[in-house]
Every structure is written in C-alpha cells, then in structure tokens.
Amino acid sequence: MTIGQWIDGRERAVPDEFRPLLSAGGPVSPDALLAAAEREVTGCAVENPRDRSAAFTLLAADAYVTYACALMIVEGAGASTLKGTAQRVARGWWDNL
C-alpha cells in the first residue's frame, strides 16, 4: 500500500484543500512517513516570515509525524519506539531552524 492510499483510507478524511500537500510517494511505513516529514521541514526555509506556504508545509510535516506515530501504535510499537521517534523529530526540526 502506498502512503497516499493509506492516508486516503483513514477513517477521518483529510480536507480536500490540504490533501494535495500530502503527496509523499512510496510504500507506507513509519520510517517513510517520518522521512516525508523530514523532507517537508528541510524544504521549509522561509525568507518572508509572512509567507503562508511555510505554515502549510509545517502542517504537512506534522501530519506525517502524526500518521507515523499512529501507524506505529497500530503495529504494536511500545513507548520506547515512540520516544525514539520523538527524539528523531526533535533533532531533525532543531537542525533545520
């Protein structure tokens, strides 16, 4: 199953206006979703602080992280896995500030 198929199959649909921002491809996995979040954050360098596209990029990154955690829980991941994920996200976002 691809990331897009997995997102579209979720119980709560992504708003139509936001769905195009979640365009990561490839097979769905927690690692693939986190990599998509990292790509979003890396591409979020903003020269104009009033640029709203940066906010949508960060929302997309947040969505991918949330989906990764949800998938981990469904797959039976424990607290240590989720803690490691939080640390990975924090390091990645800090490095891109």
Q: Name every residue whose Cβ is closer than 8 Å to that of residue 35 and which is 6 or more positions away in sequence.
A: 24
Q: What is the pLDDT of residue 22?
A: 96
- Report pLDDT digits (tens) over 41-96: 877 766 666 777 788 888 999 999 999 999 999 999 999 999 988 888 887 666 65
Q: Answer whether 68's CB lies under 8 Å from 24's CB.
A: no
**If you compute the radius of gyration of the chain from its CA atoms, what whole number of angstroms results?**
14
Q: Positive or negative, the Cα torsion across 62, 66, 71, 77? A: positive
Tell me: pLDDT of 97 over 60: no
